[in-house]
């Protein structure tokens, strides 16, 4: 779009926040699976758990993108080596391992949930759905960071519009039990956990923990357009608002349908790819909401695939012995997609409840705590070295 010969562009920090949002709103988030696992068992307190988690994560991302801006890098390896010096051999290695782990987990979860949605809602064969997702991911990712930023921004807007519509119809539906649940006037499913509110704080830390490396890596991979510290702060603040609001909306929707959460926690459930939000759509009974939900789910899946995919490209493309950048990008994406297809056979439940939690404990100890402890000092030191006039 042009006006008087000049291009109209969104501020750089919006693009970075959109990539963070797009990477976060992956299969576990869009399906309601992650929110159910981490926050739905804490009653009213669980409604704000996502905000606490995103504040913790937002601080980590701010230190990451601002430090990366100062040392002028979009590679998480370069960032980690510099940020964790002189102990980079330990922390940088763990950072890299955790990033690759999260990329594979998210690729596999995205492919599994996306293909399942194609199959159950659009009657597209499972492997046909996998092929469609692979083609879209490659098309949006191999052409560089600018396309990733723009497409993530568009997908973010579509996802938010569709999610808000789903929330409104979900809460106003006769099937909604939000107020009854709030006022404790309905019997809750025996399978629905009733955990003390203070345990939710640890759950929020765990949630931020397993996301930390992945969100930091993808955010810094597209942070090259940030011009100053204000941009970095704005990117982090907008990201906290978008991502915190996202989890709150999903938590409110799940709170209104305790029977679905009860089914999620039911030890006798046989499905390994349970989609709580889709179950709610089925209960509401309005067919057009299915299409709203498909927009949310597929938009979330595509933005996650391209966000994580480009994060890997920014880190590893120099190791591919090919001159053409697009060919390098294609080779890396092909490797990731094959790995994702293989791991997706374990099911979304295993990916969210086991794959994410395992790496979450590692990241809390070796990423979240160290970044929060030394982040301010590192920013101050890098500013003195690279921008002494400010």
Domains of the chain: 16-373 (1.20.1740.10)
* Residue 185 three-state SS: coil
Indicate if the alpha-carbon torsion angle 168, 172, 177, 181 is positive or negative. Answer: positive
Averaged pLDDT score across all residues of the chain: 85
Tokens 């926050």, residue located: 39
Residues 143, 324 contacting (CB under 8 angstroms): no
Neighbours of 160 (CB within 10 A): 18
Cβ burial of 158 (10 Å; 0-12, 13-18, 19+) is middle
Average pLDDT over residues 342-347: 82
Of the spans 139-143, 172-176, 214-218, 322-326, which averages the highest pLDDT? 172-176
pLDDT in tens, 27-74: 677 788 889 989 999 999 999 999 999 999 999 999 999 999 999 988
Please tell me the least confidently modeled range out of 97-111, 139-153, 337-351: 139-153
Exposure of 328 in the CB half-sphere (CA atoms within 13 A): 17
**Ramachandran region, residue 381 (left: φ > 0; alpha: ψ -120 to 50; beta: rest):** alpha
Cross-strand pairs, 6: 3
Q: Please report the DSSP string for 72-96 in residue order.
A: T---HHHHHHHHTTTSHHHHHHHHH
Residue 3's DSSP bridge partners are 6
pLDDT surpassing 90 at residue 337 = no
pTM of the model: 0.81
């Amino acid at each position: 779009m042009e006006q008087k010969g000049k291009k109209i562009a969104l501020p750089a920090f919006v693009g970075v926040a959109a990539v963070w949002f797009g990477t976060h709103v992956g299969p576990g988030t869009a399906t309601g699976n992650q929110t159910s696992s981490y926050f739905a068992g804490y009653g009213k307190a669980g409604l704000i758990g996502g905000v606490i988690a995103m504040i913790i994560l937002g601080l980590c991302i701010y230190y990451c993108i601002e430090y990366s801006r100062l040392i002028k890098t979009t590679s998480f390896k370069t960032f980690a080596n510099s940020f964790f010096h002189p102990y980079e051999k330990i922390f940088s290695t763990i950072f890299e391992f955790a990033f690759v782990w999260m990329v594979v987990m998210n690729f596999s979860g995205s492919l599994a949930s996306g293909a399942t949605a194609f199959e159950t809602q659009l009657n597209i064969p499972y492997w046909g759905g996998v092929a469609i997702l692979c083609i879209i991911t490659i098309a949006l990712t191999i052409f560089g960071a600018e396309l990733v930023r723009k497409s993530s921004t568009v997908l973010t807007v579509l996802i938010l519009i569709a999610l808000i519509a789903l929330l409104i119809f979900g809460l106003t539906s006769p099937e909604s039990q939000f107020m009854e649940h709030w006022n404790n006037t309905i019997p809750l499913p025996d399978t629905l956990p009733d955990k003390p509110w203070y345990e939710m704080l640890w759950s929020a830390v765990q949630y931020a923990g397993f996301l930390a490396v992945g969100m930091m890596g993808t955010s810094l991979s597209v942070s090259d357009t940030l011009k100053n510290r204000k941009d970095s702060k704005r990117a982090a603040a907008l990201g906290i608002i978008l991502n915190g609001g996202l989890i709150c909306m999903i938590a409110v929707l799940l709170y209104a349908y305790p029977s679905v959460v009860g089914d999620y926690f039911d030890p006798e459930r046989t499905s390994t790819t349970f989609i709580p939000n889709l179950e709610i759509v089925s209960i509401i009974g309005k067919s057009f909401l299915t299409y709203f939900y498909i927009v949310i789910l597929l938009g979330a899946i595509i933005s996650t695939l391209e966000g994580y995919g480009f994060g890997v490209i920014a880190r590893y493309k120099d190791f591919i012995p090919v001159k053409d950048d697009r060919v390098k990008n294609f080779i890396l994406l092909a490797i990731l997609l094959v790995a994702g297809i293989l791991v997706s056979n374990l099911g979304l439940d295993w990916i969210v409840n086991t794959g994410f939690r395992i790496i979450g404990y590692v990241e809390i100890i070796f990423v979240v705590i160290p970044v929060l402890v030394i982040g301010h000092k590192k920013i101050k030191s890098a500013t003195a070295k690279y921008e002494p006039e400010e």
